[in-house]
Structure 1
Amino acid sequence: MVRWWSMRLWVAHLLGLLCVGIAIGMGGWQYDAWQARRAAERVDLTHAAPVPIGDVIGPDDPFPTAGLGRPVEVRGTFLPEGTVLVSGRADAAGADGDWLVTPLTVGDPAAPAVPVVRGWVPTGTDLTALPAPPADEVELRGWLQPPEGSGQVDDDRSDDVLPELRIAELVQRVDQDLYGAYVVAEEPLADDAAAGVAGATLDQLPQASRFTGLRNILYAVEWWVFAAFAAFLWFRYVRDATSGGDAEEADAAAAEGAVVPSDP
């Protein structure tokens, strides 16, 4: 009788294990390549050519999905009365700190404004010790981000430190309407940099296209299907080999127990 662990089936076991292992590994490699390509596209979108903010979003528009992380150009005047710190922001090295945020009118001084993250400062920095934004019209570049609003509670509403960059909080501090978005400046202003304000890092990255790396993920699925097929073939072969042995033994036993008639 041929058993599953019989020496006669070791070659089949090893071959099946080898085929399944290679197929699963190749599928995992293609899956990793799919993720890497999508991650690379997300980063590359942040380095696209900047466009005027008005080409991506208007003052009354909802935040567009295609605008997440898009480099934009903004020209206008800062509204210093709206300056706040947004807590809970880490720098590139992981140190805790705050964002320095001031609304900037888009175009005319009386036009709606967009909050601008001017940079990053360590936790505990006094807002009054930081330089005021320029009074003249400025032009800057930055990355467009959606407003925040996870529902974090502001434990102290009397100060100028917010737990999140919420448009509803900022609009109460200025006379202009605000865009439903904010901009992370590419680099601090000259006065801010001289005062030790560092560049802020992106809080979110743009989404990759759904078709990015499509060939890789299809290859991954194809390899995994092959792995399942190889496992099925191994199972069928081993099952047939073992069941065939049982049938032969049954036939032999039946033959031994048969009565042979004598010649007349």
Structure 2
Amino acid sequence: MYRFLLTPRWWGINVFVLLAIPFCIFMGSWQLSRFEDRVQDHRDATEQAAAGRTEAARPLAELLPVDKATSGKRATVTGRYGEQLLVPDRELDGRTGSYVLTLLRTGSGKALPVVRGWLPGAADPAKAPAPPAGEVTVTGALQASETPGDNGVSAASGLPSGQTAAISTASLVNLVPYRMYDAWITLDNGDSGMKTVPASAPSGSGLDLKAFQNLGYTGEWFVFAGFVVFMWFRLLRREAEFVQDAELGLVPDEEKVPSPSGV
């Protein structure tokens, strides 16, 4: 009854199935590994952020450039405060407000953006406390420059003078007359009674949409593998029934050769 499995058409079907199933399993396993990697990155970033709050602060120069290993580490730097900007539409504790961002001019000739704290409500420069005068030494969590449009960072343009949508070197160089570090810090303790802005995990280390897309693709590839097996058994059963009916004389002569579709 199953001699039809040796025909060229079924050789082609069998080869396709034998190649498709391992391919689907491989792709599903790869997507699952990508999801597991993102979960591990998220766990590592969470642990690093917790450890960073208790580690001794290190000089800024030792932690640059900012990467996944140094993001969230406590840095210390000395300088004098200069230009001050507000970063509007930032949420903290479920409320919308603004970061108070002040440029710290260091002895290297570069300026480091320092988030001194968060204020609730609409961005109003009159409500932002003035920075301390004279030379100061600040300590806070090191962060990479933000990318407008990523991780909820606003890409708005045309903001009023004294405001910036993102804490980004590329944006700030157009607003202040300083050379900039490609990094920023958020103070351990909010300055002048402002709320402290917590450090965020580095980009690409969270359980974001991409992570769950990987998980979804995992399920799709395994479903494809199951569908291939299901269709192979379905075609096999239909052809076996056709051959059996033909041997019993239940199929007209003109239908004794199955069509390529197996119908």
TM-score bracket, normalised by the shorter chain, equals 0.5 to 0.7
Q: Is the 8 A contact 2:99 2:119 kept in 1?
A: yes
Deviations 1:24-49 (A, max 9, x none): xx979877655433322233333444
What's the TM-score, normalizing by structure 1?
A: 0.60
2-side partners of 1:163 and 1:233: how far apart? 53
Counterpart selection for 2:172 from 164, 167, 176? 167
Q: Which ranges in structure 1 are unaligned for 5 or more consecutive residues? A: 1-22, 58-62, 210-216, 258-264
2-side partners of 1:31 and 1:73: how far apart? 32
Q: Is the 8 A contact 2:87 2:99 kept in 1?
A: yes
| SS of aligned partner of 1:134 | coil
1-side partners of 2:32 and 2:157: how far apart? 44
Counterpart selection for 1:120 from 118, 121, 135? 118
Deviation at 1:252, TM superposition (A): 1.9
Counterpart selection for 2:196 from 199, 206, 209? 199
| SS of aligned partner of 1:78 | strand
2-side partners of 1:199 and 1:104: how far apart? 18
- Pair 1:254–1:164, CA change in 2 (3 A): closer
Q: Higher relative contact order at CA 8 Å, sep ≥6: structure 1 or structure 2? A: 1
User: One-letter code of the match for 2:176?
Assistant: V
What's the TM-score, normalizing by structure 2?
A: 0.60
Deviation at 1:114, TM superposition (A): 0.3
Deviations 1:148-185 (A, max 9, x none): 5676323433xx3333333214433xxx5321222122
2-side partners of 1:37 and 1:122: how far apart? 34
- Pair 1:230–1:123, CA change in 2 (3 A): closer
| SS of aligned partner of 1:205 | coil
Q: Is the 8 A contact 2:63 2:70 kept in 1?
A: no
Deviation at 1:67, TM superposition (A): 6.5
Q: Is the 8 A contact 1:101 1:116 kept in 2?
A: yes
2-side partners of 1:111 and 1:31: how far apart? 42
Query: RMSD between aligned alpha carbons?
Result: 4.0
Question: 2:43 aligned with 1:43, yes or no?
Answer: no
User: One-letter code of the match for 1:113?
Assistant: A
Deviation at 1:89, TM superposition (A): 1.2
Q: Is the 8 A contact 2:101 2:114 kept in 1?
A: yes
Alignment of 1:31-70 (within 5 A): 33-47=36-50, 48=52, 49=55, 50-57=57-64, 64-66=66-68, 69-70=71-72
Q: Is the 8 A contact 1:68 1:146 kept in 2?
A: no
Q: Is the 8 A contact 1:103 1:116 kept in 2?
A: yes
Q: Is the 8 A contact 2:104 2:113 kept in 1?
A: yes
Q: Give the number of aligned pairs.
A: 205
Counterpart selection for 2:186 from 184, 187, 212? 184
2-side partners of 1:74 and 1:84: how far apart? 21
Alignment of 1:44-123 (within 5 A): 44-47=47-50, 48=52, 49=55, 50-57=57-64, 64-66=66-68, 69-79=71-81, 81-93=82-94, 95-106=95-106, 108=107, 111-123=109-121
Deviation at 1:88, TM superposition (A): 1.8
Deviation at 1:100, TM superposition (A): 0.5
Alignment of 1:17-28 (within 5 A): none
Identity of aligned residues (%): 14
Counterpart selection for 1:133 from 128, 131, 134? 131
Q: Which ranges in structure 2 are unaligned for 5 or more consecutive residues? A: 1-24, 150-154, 207-213, 254-263
| SS of aligned partner of 1:161 | coil
Deviation at 1:202, TM superposition (A): 4.2
- Pair 1:163–1:233, CA change in 2 (3 A): closer
Q: Is the 8 A contact 1:83 1:102 kept in 2?
A: yes
Question: Which structure has the greater CA radius of gyration?
Answer: 1
1-side partners of 2:203 and 2:147: how far apart? 15
Counterpart selection for 2:232 from 236, 250, 262? 236
